[in-house]
A and B are shown apart, each in its own frame.
Chain A
């Protein structure tokens, strides 16, 4: 009995959301085939981004809201690649390569800022994302076409400076997904994309078995003790953010090649919150995150996303309510997960006390 209780209390968050998802699936009354297709599509699209959050959590820097910076690096590379008309899988690879130095630079800057805000990394990262968004808009909405000469009818707004609101990524659309797909029912499963995700998962797993990975873990546990042992804590923290930012840049490129259009001014906005919500739903916390939690969380979060409009229609008679529900869910989940995390650590303490009573 206690065993079951402990398992439940340990996995309270994923279990709660699994129940909500099941209710949603029940009320949405969607055909299984459609549901399956949506989930496969969204898992392929989002898993990479969610996985990019793991390293900073282990390095003790909490949930990296700053992956927005990585997403921006990816988008800038995509804009340039569209401008230069790169195409095909080679073009996508080149885009990722182009995004990397930018992401490294952003990561180093972000890491340096976060080192000045130890213990407040999450809120700092979030605000940094807003700030970077402002700079990004300033560049692409104002500077492009005025200070920066940029003449490309496909990208520019014809009547004023700045980039178009949506950029068609037709040359890169689906180039990764479509290398090799397997048809199941009417779902095309993008095998290569999933292979890339699997490769990243294995790489993260292997990374934590290396010396550098061990250093990250040590810094994540206690900066002071790690420092006394001669580990360069600040440098390791910056490195962790750099890794995360680069992975987020690549993740955003994979995400957008699947979507096929870039919402110049919006695509990156909710990258951080959505990826973090997904990770938290998987049962991760501010101090602990695993690959399994990331993938499970991505699955549950997007299942809820898929079913919520129809469920809203069925329950409240309006799909619009379901739409609101999506956003509500994303932010609500973060709040609930953090609250549940606190509640769980308390109940664990209580459980161990009761254990004594029975002993």
Chain B
């Protein structure tokens, strides 16, 4: 057996006295796909920050333990040094310039140049870009990934699903790449895209590149990993070849308690009258990459309606359009009243609440406290939590009381209501979003991608909360890329394909029907009658 590409030995790290990593060992061999799994806050990011020599580590006293690359000890003091040693990283959020072409992005700050008369006087910086070479390199990197996109198309025009591939192409274009770290790369991909992505990752590994794969999706881990390392609370709880685990075992090890990975959480549809509370007619929403091209849909009173479909087909745009966050046209009637489009305030005033898929961008005021985030919408639209009088002063006492109550009720793990939301983990941020929606006492509740990027434990809690809300009589429209999640809580599931309604299914409809609708085939077309609409 050759020398491992990466060895991390007895890595420990503490921030200001808090131990966040304790004695972690990790070994990755050539061409190995190694999955690193763990809940948010388990220490995965810290471990990667150490590997990359990020300033958050170096500025806080470094770390204990040794890192060996190809058997020789290293200590990177900057990401640049790590990259120089052949370590590549694909971040969770896209690091691509929208107005640049694919080739320009892949070659960003590594452009090939050729000298010209001026560069000979004024230096290398003024050398002309060698677009031919850039183009050829990009082509070969894209070909390696099996991508047939044009290298001179601007990134802004590409479907979201392709961006992750462009990021990988950028990394493999770096000549000495030997270890590629993928930080939750499939979080933003749909199931089919994720599948394609995993195939590419396996292909890469076969060429000898080692992959360190961080993910929340355990089925992915089972599909691609050679070896698995599980972290919990900064400790290594288990490590070994994939064959020795089942999904349930992994989930259990991650969270330290039994988790239900599938099966309905149990919103058994009671006798709900099919009375339409929200009527959507020919709704078009201009949301970049998720355009909705005219949809007719009724939401029944008291139900949980799931909205599913592949990424880029417009499922996300439905709630965003109705809530007025993206330009839209068409007709939406709520309890017989017209919902004015392109006007978030009016939508809120009507008693609609929304938990956005863009938690950090739209959902939260990141630099503000938990308490203020929870009461914000109610304060703005319902004049709640204000002292009587014309000045509309905040009623701090009531805000605090309500925040404390919410923290307890929603199990938000934090240091207190004054904590800044940015410092919370993804799952706890999501709980804050939901707490705010609860605070509004909504009658109709939109929630998009409620479990995206949050860990298994928080996931089931968030879904339970949604069901609880529904039991209190609130109609829920939940949009999610994870079909299993929709099927576990919805009464009906509408599938969106290319901006239009493809069909509506019951949660217990067979997988094949879901597959067909998501691929744009109508059920009549293949001889299966529509079953869920009555």
Q: B125 to A350, Cβ gap below 8 A?
A: no
Is B80 in the interface zone, CB < 8 Å from A? yes
Q: B286 to A353, Cβ gap below 8 A?
A: yes
Q: B97 to A215, Cβ gap below 8 A?
A: no
Partner of A211, one of B127, B284, B286, B329: B127
Is A231 in the interface zone, CB < 8 Å from B? yes
Find chain B residues with CB under 8 A from A357 CB.
284, 294
Is B484 in the interface zone, CB < 8 Å from A? no
Q: B291 to A356, Cβ gap below 8 A?
A: yes
Is A229 in the interface zone, CB < 8 Å from B? yes
Partner of B109, one of A210, A231, A346, A350: A231
Q: A349 to B108, Cβ gap below 8 A?
A: no
Q: B100 to A211, Cβ gap below 8 A?
A: no
Q: In the complex, which residues 53-103 of chain B have their Cβ closer than 8 Å to any Cβ of chain A?
A: 80, 95-100
The digit string for B279-320, where 1 denotes a CB below 8 A from any CB of A, is: 000001010000101100000000000000000000000000
Q: A221 to B124, Cβ gap below 8 A?
A: no
Q: B128 to A210, Cβ gap below 8 A?
A: yes
Find chain B residues with CB under 8 A from A207 CB.
126
Q: A230 to B109, Cβ gap below 8 A?
A: yes
Q: A356 to B293, Cβ gap below 8 A?
A: yes
C-alpha gap A222/B95 in the complex (Å): 10
C-alpha gap A214/B125 in the complex (Å): 10
Q: A225 to B97, Cβ gap below 8 A?
A: yes
Q: In the complex, which residues 332-359 of chain A have their Cβ closer than 8 Å to any Cβ of chain B?
A: 346, 349-350, 352-353, 356-357
Partner of B80, one of A206, A221, A230: A230
Is A212 in the interface zone, CB < 8 Å from B? yes
CB distance from B138 to the nearest CB of A (A): 14
Is B111 in the interface zone, CB < 8 Å from A? yes
Find chain B residues with CB under 8 A from A212 CB.
125-126
Question: Considering only CB atoms, which chain A residue lies closest to B107 in the complex?
Answer: A214
Q: B100 to A218, Cβ gap below 8 A?
A: yes
Q: A218 to B286, Cβ gap below 8 A?
A: no
Could you say which of B96, B108, B499 has the most chain A C-beta atoms within 10 Å of its C-beta? B108
Find chain B residues with CB under 8 A from A217 CB.
99-100
Is B113 in the interface zone, CB < 8 Å from A? yes
Q: A210 to B284, Cβ gap below 8 A?
A: no
C-alpha gap A357/B330 in the complex (Å): 11
Q: Is the interface of A mostly helix, strand, loop or mixed?
A: helix
Is A228 in the interface zone, CB < 8 Å from B? yes
Q: A218 to B108, Cβ gap below 8 A?
A: yes
Partner of B119, one of A210, A229, A346, A352: A210
CB distance from A348 to the nearest CB of B (A): 10
CB distance from B377 to the nearest CB of A (A): 26
C-alpha gap A23/B34 in the complex (Å): 72
C-alpha gap A350/B291 in the complex (Å): 12
Is B506 in the interface zone, CB < 8 Å from A? no
Answer whether A218 and B109 are a contact pair too, CB < 8 Å, given A210-B126, A225-B97, A357-B284.
Answer: yes
CB distance from B365 to the nearest CB of A (A): 18
Q: A352 to B286, Cβ gap below 8 A?
A: yes
| Interface size, A (range) | 20 to 34
C-alpha gap A222/B116 in the complex (Å): 28
C-alpha gap A207/B125 in the complex (Å): 10
C-alpha gap A147/B167 in the complex (Å): 61
CB distance from A60 to the nearest CB of B (A): 11
Question: Considering only CB atoms, which chain A residue lies closest to B126 in the complex?
Answer: A210
Answer whether A211 and B111 are a contact pair too, CB < 8 Å, given A353-B286, A356-B499.
Answer: yes
Is A226 in the interface zone, CB < 8 Å from B? yes
Could you say which of A206, A214, A222, A230 has the most chain B C-beta atoms within 10 Å of its C-beta? A214
Is B414 in the interface zone, CB < 8 Å from A? no
Q: B286 to A221, Cβ gap below 8 A?
A: no
Find chain B residues with CB under 8 A from A209 CB.
128-129
Partner of A353, one of B97, B100, B109, B284: B284
Q: In the complex, which residues 97-143 of chain B have their Cβ closer than 8 Å to any Cβ of chain A?
A: 97-100, 104, 108-109, 111, 113, 116, 119, 124-129
Q: B129 to A211, Cβ gap below 8 A?
A: yes
The digit string for B260-290, where 1 denotes a CB below 8 A from any CB of A, is: 0000000000000000000000001010000
C-alpha gap A222/B97 in the complex (Å): 7
C-alpha gap A71/B109 in the complex (Å): 33
Q: B108 to A226, Cβ gap below 8 A?
A: yes
The digit string for A116-159, where 1 denotes a CB below 8 A from any CB of B, is: 00000000000000000000000000000000000000000000
CB distance from B428 to the nearest CB of A (A): 25
18 further A-B contacts with Cβ under 8 Å, apart from A210-B119, A356-B291, are: A210-B125, A211-B111, A211-B113, A211-B129, A214-B129, A221-B97, A221-B98, A222-B97, A225-B97, A226-B97, A226-B108, A228-B95, A229-B109, A350-B286, A353-B286, A356-B293, A356-B499, A357-B294
Interface residues of A (CB under 8 A from B): 206-207, 209-212, 214-215, 217-218, 221-222, 225-226, 228-231, 346, 349-350, 352-353, 356-357
In the complex, 21 of the A-B residue pairs with CB atoms within 8 angstroms, ordered by the A residue number, are A206-B128, A210-B125, A210-B126, A210-B127, A211-B124, A211-B129, A212-B125, A212-B126, A214-B129, A215-B125, A217-B99, A217-B100, A221-B97, A221-B99, A228-B95, A229-B95, A229-B108, A349-B327, A350-B286, A353-B329, A356-B499
Q: Which 6 A-B pairs have the closest CB atoms?
A: A229-B109, A221-B97, A212-B125, A353-B286, A229-B108, A210-B126
